Structure 1
Amino acid sequence: MSENLLTLSGVHTHIGAYHILHGVDLVVPRGQLTMLLGRNGAGKTTTLRTIMGLWRASQGRITFGGEDIAQLPTPRIAELGVAYVPENMGIFADLTVKENMLLAARGARSVQQIDRNRLEWIFSLFPAVEKFWNHPAGKLSGGQKQMLAVSRAIVEPRQVLIVDEPSKGLAPAIINNMIDAFASLKQSGVTILLVEQNINFAKRLGDSVAVMDNGVVVHAGSMKALAENEELQHSLLGLAL
C-alpha cells in the first residue's frame, strides 16, 4: 500500500482561455494532514477543484489509492472516498441541519438509517450540529455553517477530506474548536488536505506542507521545518509564520 494516498503529477488546468495550473506536483501522505499554502491567486482552490473533477485537468495524472482519477466524473470520485468542503461551504440554507446531513448520507433514506455511532462522534466534534439539529441551516452563524459543512463531508466514512479555508472569517474561539476537531479527525485515520490562510491553524495542525505560487508547487516538506525557518517563510509567502 502506497504511503501517499493522493498524488498529482504534472497537472495542468485550463479554465476557458486561462491556463491556471502549470504542472502541479503534489503528494498527500496517507494518515497525515497536509497544508496547501500560498498567496491569493496561487492556484490552491483550482488544485482542489481539479482533484474533485469540478474542473478537468488538461494534462497530467491525479492518482488516488493507486487509481488515476483525472478524467473521472465528480460523483465517481466522491464514491471512491474523497470528500470536499468548498470555500463557500455549499450549505442548503432553506433546509434544516438534519436535512443537510441526510442529503450527504447517501446510503440513508431517513435520519434513523444514519449510523448512530457516527452521528454521536460528529456531535462530539461539533456540538452545535446537534444543538441546532432542527433549525434552518441558513440561520446558523458562519462558524456553525462551517461545522455543518465538515460534518456533512464526514457523515459517511471517507478516506480523504479536502477542505478549502475552514477558518476563513471565523472568531478565534471557533477556530480553536475547528483545530481540535481536525486533530481528532486525523487521529481517527482520516487523511486531510487543507487550504488555509490562518498561519496559527497551519502550524498547529500540519504534518506536511506544500506551497504554491503561479500555478505550481514551489516548496514541499514538513510543516515543522517551514514553521522554524523564517527566511524560507519570507521567500515563499512574503511573511513570517
Structure 2
Amino acid sequence: MSAAPLLSLKGVHTHIGAYHILHGVDLEVPEGEVTMLLGRNGAGKSTTLRTVMGLWAASQGRVQFKGQAIGGPGGQRTTPEIAQEGIAYVPESMGIFADLSVQENMLLAAREARRAADLDAARLDWIFSLFPALHKFWLYPAGKLSGGQKQMLAVARAIIEPRALILIDEPSKGLAPAIIHNLIAALQELKRQRTTLLLVEQNFSMAQALGDSVAVMDNGRVVHSGRMADLAADQALQQRLLGLSLGAHQ
C-alpha cells in the first residue's frame, strides 16, 4: 500500500474574476520526490501553484496538505497560514525585493531570524555552497544581480529554513544554459536530501533530469500523470501530450 501523498488536489476548480481557469484538477505530490507539472502555455500550471498557496481560492474541490484541508470551500486557509504549515513558493516573477540587499532578502524569508546573526550559520554555508554568487554579493542590492543570480536568490529564500514542500514556477525561464546547469545541480542536491518539490517547467531536459513523477495539464485539467522516466522514454506520448518530444530539447 503506497503512502498518502504530501499534497493532493481533488476536483479543484479555480475562477479568476469571470474566467474559469482550473476545471477539476486532480494531482498528487508524493513526499520526498520531485513532481514536474508540464503542459502548454495557458494550460493552468501557474494557476495550480497559486491555488495551492491560497493566492487564488479554489471555488470547488479540495486542496489537502499532510491530510488536512488547506484550500477549497469550507477549508480555505490564508496564504500566510499555508506558508506557516511549511510550504514555500517561488513565483515566476521570483518575488525578490530589488531595493534590499541579498542579506535583507534572506532575512525576510527566515521566519525565526531578526538580524543576520540569527541566521543558521551551517544552513547558510550550505546555501552558499549551492549558490556561491549569493555569498559574493551578500551586501549588494538584489536588483543589481543578473537574472540567473536573482533566480538563485529566489530559490535560496525558499530554502533558508527547512520546508516540507517547495513550489517553483518556471525556474529556468530566460536563463542562459550555463546558469540552468548550475540551477539543476542545486535542485538535484535538494532532491538528494529528499526535499519535496513541485516544479512548473518548460525546459524538458531539466524536467527529465529532476523529475520523479510528472503531471501534464491541458485546458485546466491534469490529462496525464505517471513516472517522469516513462514519459521521457515514450516519444509518441510526448508528442500527443505536449506536441513535441523531449528528445528534441536535449
Q: Which residue of 2 aligns with 1:237?
A: 242
Q: Which residue of 2 aligns with 1:154?
A: 159
Overall identity of the aligned pairs, in %: 68
Q: Which residue of 1 aligns with 2:8?
A: 7
In structure 2, C-alpha distance between the alignment counterparts of 1:128 and 1:8, rounded to whole Å: 37
Instruction: Name the amino acid aligned to 2:97.
Output: F
Q: Which residue of 1 aligns with 2:24?
A: 23
In structure 2, C-alpha distance between the alignment counterparts of 1:234 and 1:187, rounded to whole Å: 30
Say if 1:2 and 1:65, in contact at 8 Å, map to a contact too. no
In structure 1, C-alpha distance between the alignment counterparts of 2:44 and 2:226, rounded to whole Å: 18
In structure 2, C-alpha distance between the alignment counterparts of 1:29 and 1:82, rounded to whole Å: 14
Tell me how many residue pairs correspond in the alignment. Answer: 241
Structure 1 segments, 4+ long, off by >2 Å, are none
Instruction: Name the amino acid aligned to 2:6.
Output: L
Secondary structure of the corresponding residue to residue 4 of structure 1: coil
Determine whether 1:124 maps to 2:129: yes
In structure 1, C-alpha distance between the alignment counterparts of 2:133 and 2:226, rounded to whole Å: 35
Deviation, 1:12, is 0.2
Q: Which residue of 2 aligns with 1:193?
A: 198
In structure 1, C-alpha distance between the alignment counterparts of 2:132 and 2:177, rounded to whole Å: 17
Q: Which residue of 1 aligns with 2:70?
A: 69
In structure 2, C-alpha distance between the alignment counterparts of 1:192 and 1:166, rounded to whole Å: 12
Structure 1 portions without partners, runs of 5+: none
Determine whether 1:81 maps to 2:86: yes
Say if 1:35 and 1:193, in contact at 8 Å, map to a contact too. yes
Q: Which residue of 1 aligns with 2:142?
A: 137
In structure 2, C-alpha distance between the alignment counterparts of 1:32 and 1:150, rounded to whole Å: 17
Deviation, 1:198, is 0.3
CA deviation profile, 1:52-102 (whole Å, cap 9, x unmatched): 000000001111011100000000000000000000001100000000000
In structure 1, C-alpha distance between the alignment counterparts of 2:206 and 2:127, rounded to whole Å: 21
Deviation, 1:189, is 2.2
Deviation, 1:146, is 0.2
CA deviation profile, 1:134-168 (whole Å, cap 9, x unmatched): 00000000000000000001101100110000000
TM-score (norm 2): 0.95
Instruction: Name the amino acid aligned to 1:44.
Output: K
Q: Which residue of 2 aligns with 1:202?
A: 207
Instruction: Name the amino acid aligned to 1:12.
Output: H
Q: Which residue of 2 aligns with 1:60?
A: 61
Instruction: Name the amino acid aligned to 2:24.
Output: G
Deviation, 1:4, is 1.0
Q: Which residue of 1 aligns with 2:106?
A: 101
Question: How much is the aligned-residue C-alpha RMSD, in angstroms?
Answer: 0.9
Range 2-11 or range 60-69, more displaced: 2-11
Deviation, 1:188, is 1.4
Within the candidate set 96, 115, 118, 1:113 is matched to 118
